[in-house]
Chains A and B, each alone.
Chain A
Amino acid sequence: MGILEDVYNAVLNGRVEDAAAGVARGLNDGMAVDEILKKGLLAAMDLVGERFGEGEIFIPQVLWSAKAMQAGVALLKPHFTESQQEKRARIIIGTAKGDIHDIGKQLVAMMLEGAGFEVIDLGVDVAPATFVETAADKQADIIAVSALLTTTMIGMADVVALKNERSLSAKVLIGGAPLTLEYCREIGADGYGVDARQAVAKARELIGS
């Protein structure tokens, strides 16, 4: 009980070393990997996301918490069973073609990882074809495209069109400051997140979890 609480609090407060130490202790004590992951690391990240969405905490705190969570996940990974590896939904993420603004995308990627997704980050300025080909290769469940600029968000429509052309089952999730639900509908994307927390909520909804 004490160990889970320690891990939870370490992630909540962005203490990277404490999170890793807590997870190591849990593994040493023979605790279930799933329990440390869900009740310790991911539960804390959930609250971090909620506080961020409410404007109670800001980007630096979220990034430190995400780093703490990642440190814990890294220790757990070798212990994941095959079924744990497989059932994680896979998401491809990147910024739209021409857009090099990566802070928002980075944040969403970390929050998605914190929510239990397997995240493949393609970086910035990603061509629609790269999104779609990688999604086909990796059998991704979701393609997430981020844009800060009104000029580059237009390229999101190409991702949707290309994905449909290839008849991929992956859903397209879009996000970024200039976007609206109206635009999401217009281009036929499957979901849109106004901020990182909503992006995670929407991603969960899209995979039906």
Chain B
Amino acid sequence: MTKDFLTTVRQKTIIFDGAMGTMLMEAGQASSKSPLRLNVEQPALVTDIHRRYYAAGADVVITNTFGGNPLKLAADGLEKQMQQLNRQGVMLARRACPDGKFVAGDIGPCGKMLAPLGDITAEAMEHNFFLQAEILIDSGVDLIIVETMYSLEEAVLAVKGVKRAGDIPLLASMTFTQTKNGFFTMMGESVTQCSTALEKAGADMLGANCTLNSRDFIELTKALRAATRKPILIQPNAGKPVTRQGATYYAQSASDFAADALKIKAAGADMLGGCCGTTPEFIQALKAGIAASTV
């Protein structure tokens, strides 16, 4: 069972879901507190979003547990509910998941900096991710995705924490900005530095997500493909957010996104999905584009 996902990745292009956070905002849940609370307070809403993504053609949905590590939850005073919020998050995705599809347990950054710049030790940070991963694995996810990591050191510690928590397919996805010298994390790590270190730490699959739109991701995918032989997942944003009369929109259309996604696939992506601003409509367009291209 646990190796199922890695076999599937080698056989076909896998479609991941789109955004959760911006979908919750659209549903009027623009709370300033952690979106994980909705796993308990609004379970039907979260499940419905998962269902819509599966219906749109996603093979994998990502649990609503992005900020579910203890350090991050503590910023909202929710660390005591870590177990419940994560378990419930997996349960809602599992409930929506049709036979033959997958649930990925989501782990995002902890929001703290490592010593000596910050005040967290490497051991404490690894343990932070271990604690969340243990619950996600025990709750029955098919794989774990460590994502939107802006610091390679933190991502490596997250990968190590997950590896210690259990034997499960593991994907690690970094977020890069584009500079005149190429793509780098906020901390200054290159694509190759990231892929080398994450592979060494034990990631089975690599990825890049957030920050950039689908057009910029075409070049980034080439760079990541050149750096690793592991399966890779690419999840662009739907362009940049813009506001009209106080409400926030993402600028890109689903069809533009899907057109770029084909180029991203051609550049070497094995798995595709969407990050901030993407919706089931984007995933449907993406799925249709991939299906048409592989006939």
- B117: nearest chain-A partner, CB-CB: A63
The 10 closest A-B pairs by CB, nearest first: A98-B32, A55-B179, A58-B188, A150-B248, A151-B30, A100-B75, A178-B241, A183-B243, A150-B241, A63-B117
Interface presence of A103 (CB below 8 A): yes
- B76: nearest chain-A partner, CB-CB: A100
Contacting residues, chain A, for B16 (C-beta < 8 A): none
Q: Are A150 and B22 in contact (CB under 8 A)?
A: yes
Report if A151-B180 is in contact (Cβ < 8 Å); known contacts: A63-B117, A180-B242, A186-B243. Answer: no
Interface presence of B11 (CB below 8 A): no
Interface of B with A (CB < 8 Å)? 22, 25, 30-33, 75-76, 111, 113, 117, 177, 179-181, 184-188, 211, 240-243, 246, 248
Query: Pick the contact of A54 from B30, B180, B184, B248 — CB < 8 Å?
Result: B180
Q: Are B188 and A57 in contact (CB under 8 A)?
A: yes
Cα A57 to Cα B111 with chains together (Å): 21
For A57, A58, A125, the residue with the greatest tally of chain B CB atoms inside 10 Å of its CB is A58
Q: Are B243 and A182 in contact (CB under 8 A)?
A: yes
Interface presence of A129 (CB below 8 A): no
Contacting residues, chain B, for A54 (C-beta < 8 A): 179-180
Q: Are A58 and B186 in contact (CB under 8 A)?
A: yes
The distance from the CB of B79 to the nearest CB of chain A, in whole angstroms, is 13
Cα A75 to Cα B25 with chains together (Å): 48
Interface presence of A101 (CB below 8 A): yes
Contacting residues, chain A, for B188 (C-beta < 8 A): 57-61
A residues 4-25 with Cβ under 8 Å of B?
none
The distance from the CB of B35 to the nearest CB of chain A, in whole angstroms, is 10
For A61, A150, A154, A180, the residue with the greatest tally of chain B CB atoms inside 10 Å of its CB is A150
Range for the number of chain A residues in contact with chain B: 20 to 34
Interface presence of A89 (CB below 8 A): no
6 additional A-B pairs beyond A98-B32, A125-B32, A152-B32, beta carbons within 8 Å, are A59-B188, A63-B117, A103-B186, A157-B246, A178-B241, A183-B242
Interface presence of A56 (CB below 8 A): yes
- B75: nearest chain-A partner, CB-CB: A100
Contacting residues, chain B, for A64 (C-beta < 8 A): 117
Q: Describe B's contact surface by its main secondary structure.
A: loop
- B276: nearest chain-A partner, CB-CB: A150
Q: Are B246 and A58 in contact (CB under 8 A)?
A: no
The distance from the CB of A146 to the nearest CB of chain B, in whole angstroms, is 14
For B76, B240, B243, the residue with the greatest tally of chain A CB atoms inside 10 Å of its CB is B243
Report if A56-B187 is in contact (Cβ < 8 Å); known contacts: A63-B117, A178-B241. Answer: no
Contacting residues, chain A, for B185 (C-beta < 8 A): 58
Contact with B along A152-188 (1 / 0, CB 8 A): 1110010000000000000000000110101100100
Contacting residues, chain B, for A153 (C-beta < 8 A): 243, 248
Contact with B along A48-69 (1 / 0, CB 8 A): 0000001111111101100000
Interface presence of A99 (CB below 8 A): yes
- A195: nearest chain-B partner, CB-CB: B177
Contact with B along A123-158 (1 / 0, CB 8 A): 001000000000000000000000000111110010
Query: Pick the contact of B181 from A56, A125, A151, A152 — CB < 8 Å?
Result: A56
Cα A180 to Cα B251 with chains together (Å): 12
Interface presence of A197 (CB below 8 A): no
Cα A132 to Cα B188 with chains together (Å): 36
Contacting residues, chain A, for B240 (C-beta < 8 A): 178, 180
Contact with B along A79-91 (1 / 0, CB 8 A): 0000000000000
Cα A151 to Cα B117 with chains together (Å): 28
Q: Are A55 and B181 in contact (CB under 8 A)?
A: yes
The distance from the CB of A205 to the nearest CB of chain B, in whole angstroms, is 23
The distance from the CB of B42 to the nearest CB of chain A, in whole angstroms, is 16
Interface presence of A105 (CB below 8 A): no
